[in-house]
Amino acid sequence: MSQPIRLPGPVPGPALQPQSPRLRRSSLAVVAAVAAGTALLGLAAGFVWAAVAPRAVLMMTSHGAAGLINVETGAYFGADVAFCLICLAGGVVSGALGYLLAVRRHGAVAMAGVLAGALAAAFVARWTGEQSGLAAFHHLLATLPPGARLRDALMLRATPALAAWPLAAGLTAGAIELAATRSRQPSLPPLD
C-alpha cells in the first residue's frame, strides 16, 4: 500500500490581517488625493488643447448663422488628434507621478485612484477645452455681419479619445511596477 499524499501546510510568511479603520481611511485619502490631483492635470490639459487645436474657418451666412468655408477641412480631425496626444502625455505624467507618490506604497487601492483620476481628467480636459472661448464664439456669431469670417468652436468629435488618458496612465504605472518587480527578484543561475 502506498502512503497517503500530504499537502504541504501553509506557506510561511506574514499572515493576512484585516485592515484597521485608520489604515482604510488612509488608503481612501490617498485614492482621493491621487484622483483629485490627476483631475487638476486635466484642467491644465483642457486649456492647452484649446490653445493648440486647429479650428475650422466659418463665414457668416446670415445674422446668427455661419457655414464652413472649406467643407474638406482637416481642422476637426486635427483637434481630435491634438486632444489624443495631450491626453496620452497627461496619462504618462499622471501614471508616473501616481506610481511614485502613491501606488508604490499603497498598492492596488492607489492604482484605482490613478485610473479613476485619469478618467476624470479626460472628461475635465474635454469640458475645459470646449468651454474655453465658447462665449466669445457665440458673441461673434450674434454680432458679425454676413460675409465676415470667424473660427469655429472647439468640440471633441472622437469620443473614444477619452480613453487615451486612463490607458496611458495605467500602462505607465504598470510598466514601472513591472520593472521594479523584476529588479527586486533574484536572478536565476543559467542552465547548463
Residue 54 maps to a domain: yes
41 CB contacts (<8 Å, ≥6 apart)? 90, 93, 94, 121
Distance CA 25, CA 16 (A): 18
- How many domains does the structure of the chain reveal? 1
Report the DSSP beta bridge partners of residue 65.
Answer: 62
Compute the average pLDDT of residues 82-101. 95
- Whether 5 is in a domain gets the answer no
Nearest by Cα to 117 from 52, 191, 45, 10? 45
Residue 181 pLDDT: 85
Q: Is residue 78 part of a domain?
A: yes
Residue 172 has pLDDT above 90, yes or no: yes
Is residue 97 in some structural domain? yes
Which domain covers residue 80, as residue numbers?
41-65+74-180
- Amino acid 192: pLDDT: 62
Strand partners, 57: 151
* 44-54 tens-digit pLDDT: 999 999 999 99
Q: How far apart are CA 134 and CA 9, in angstroms?
A: 67
pLDDT beyond 70 at 5: no
Query: For the whole prediction, is pTM greater than 0.85?
Result: no
Q: Residue 26: inside a domain, yes or no?
A: no
| Grid-cell match 479626460, residue found | 122
pLDDT for position 116: 93
**Residue 32 maps to a domain:** no
